[in-house]
């Protein structure tokens, strides 16, 4: 008889949870179609109940398998699961629709169930403090270029640079590389050197921010992998020592 911990850590259990998540995703998608709800409303409600039962059972099994039990409550993903599952018990009244929408967050179960995704998500969370520094630099860059754009091109293209708010919104559009050249060419007939403003912002804004974010994420992802590599190295070394000792005993 397998223990609860062995069941929770088994590949079959993980695949069953992933299957429930995928079924839940299909169910949520079907609920967005009024015709499907009208024709198969009863089936969809039963499907939602079954998926909810599976998620509840999965959480209870993980709670039972946790050793010590307090380790379950120390895991942020456990609190996330509890919040999302708890939201699923709210009735579907119009006043609580926002809570029912939290069912969509059940798809985040895949992050916890799949080790690779969990490692990436942990690296993203670990990168948040460093990404905050990048965000400050981007804010200063936006403010400087937004103020300059309003003063330089506000009279030429008021729809894009008439106010500081419009300038900041235009710069946000530009940093996504969506239609920035059209804005530049609309200004250049009256301001031939406007390309300096736009090209420099693209270089500093887009490529600097992209390279910084990628660098931070890759660095934290590498750090997230190192502990596992160290543990594996220790296990292999211990195994080598045991094998060497057994060989000595046989001699």
CATH number, residue 221? 1.10.287.70
Domain boundary among 76, 95, 113: 113
| CA gap 64, 84 in Å, rounded | 19
* Helix, strand, or coil (residue 5): helix
Domain boundary among 113, 138, 162: 113
Q: By C-alpha distance, which of 65, 60, 59 is closest to 80?
A: 59
Q: What is the mean pLDDT of the chain?
A: 77
Q: Is the pLDDT of residue 126 over 80?
A: no
Q: What is the pLDDT of residue 232?
A: 53
Place of tokens 């070394």: 237
Residues 103 and 126 occupy one common structural domain: no
Q: Could you list the residue range(s) of the whole structural domain that residue 144 is in?
A: 120-250
Which of 19-23, 37-41, 79-83, 118-122 has the weakest average pLDDT?
A: 118-122
As for how many domains the chain has, the answer is: 2
- When comparing pLDDT for 13 and 151, which is higher? 151
Residues 66 and 104 occupy one common structural domain: yes
Domain boundary among 96, 113, 130: 113
DSSP state of 69: T
Average pLDDT over residues 53-59: 84
pLDDT tens track for 217-239: 777 776 655 544 445 556 666 66
Task: Read off the CATH number of the domain in which 42 is found.
Answer: 1.20.120.350
Q: What is the pLDDT of residue 31?
A: 76
Q: How confident is the model at residue 152 (pLDDT cuts 50, 70, 90)?
A: very high
Residues 69 and 190 occupy one common structural domain: no
């Amino acid at each position: 008889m397998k223990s609860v911990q062995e069941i929770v850590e088994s590949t079959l259990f993980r695949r069953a949870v992933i299957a429930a998540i995928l079924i839940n995703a299909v169910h949520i998608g079907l609920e967005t179609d009024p015709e499907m709800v009208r024709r198969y409303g009863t089936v969809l409600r039963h499907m939602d109940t079954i998926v909810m039962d599976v998620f509840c059972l999965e959480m209870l099994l993980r709670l039972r398998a946790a050793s010590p039990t307090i380790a379950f409550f120390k895991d942020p993903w456990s609190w996330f699961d509890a919040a999302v599952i708890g939201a699923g018990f709210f009735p579907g009244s119009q006043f609580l629709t926002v809570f029912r929408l939290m069912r969509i967050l059940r798809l985040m179960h895949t992050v916890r169930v799949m080790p690779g995704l969990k490692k990436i998500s942990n690296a993203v969370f670990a990168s948040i403090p460093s990404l905050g520094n990048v965000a400050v630099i981007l804010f200063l860059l936006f403010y400087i270029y937004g103020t300059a754009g309003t003063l330089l091109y506000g009279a030429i293209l008021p729809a894009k640079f008439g106010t500081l708010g419009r300038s900041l919104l235009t710069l946000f559009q530009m940093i996504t590389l969506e239609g920035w050249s059209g804005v530049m060419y609309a200004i250049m007939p009256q301001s031939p050197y406007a390309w300096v403003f736009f090209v420099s912002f693209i270089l500093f804004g887009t490529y600097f921010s992209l390279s910084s974010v990628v660098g931070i994420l890759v660095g934290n992802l590498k750090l997230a992998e190192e502990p596992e590599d160290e543990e594996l190295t220790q296990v292999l070394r211990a195994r080598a020592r045991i094998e060497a000792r057994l060989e000595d005993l046989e001699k």
